[in-house]
Amino acid sequence: MLLDTENASLEIFVGRVYRSEESEQLLQEKGCRSRIYERTNHNRPLSEVQEKVNTRRFRHRARVKHVFSAIAQQGGIFLRIIIGIARTKVKIEMRNLIYNIRRFTYLLKQEGT
Tens digit of each residue's pLDDT (9 = 90 or more) over 29-73: 877 777 776 777 778 887 888 888 877 777 767 777 777 777 777
Q: What range defines the domain where residue 23 resides?
A: 1-61
Residue 104 counted as domain residue: no
- Is the separation of the CB atoms in 12 and 29 below 8 Å? no
Residue 55 resides in a domain: yes
| 94 found inside a domain | no
pLDDT score of 77 = 56
Q: Give percent of the chain above pLDDT 90.
A: 14
76 within a domain of the structure (yes/no): no
Q: Is residue 49 in some structural domain? A: yes
Domain count, the chain: 1
**Residue 5 domain-assigned (yes or no):** yes
12 has a pLDDT exceeding 90: no
**What is the model's pTM?**
0.37
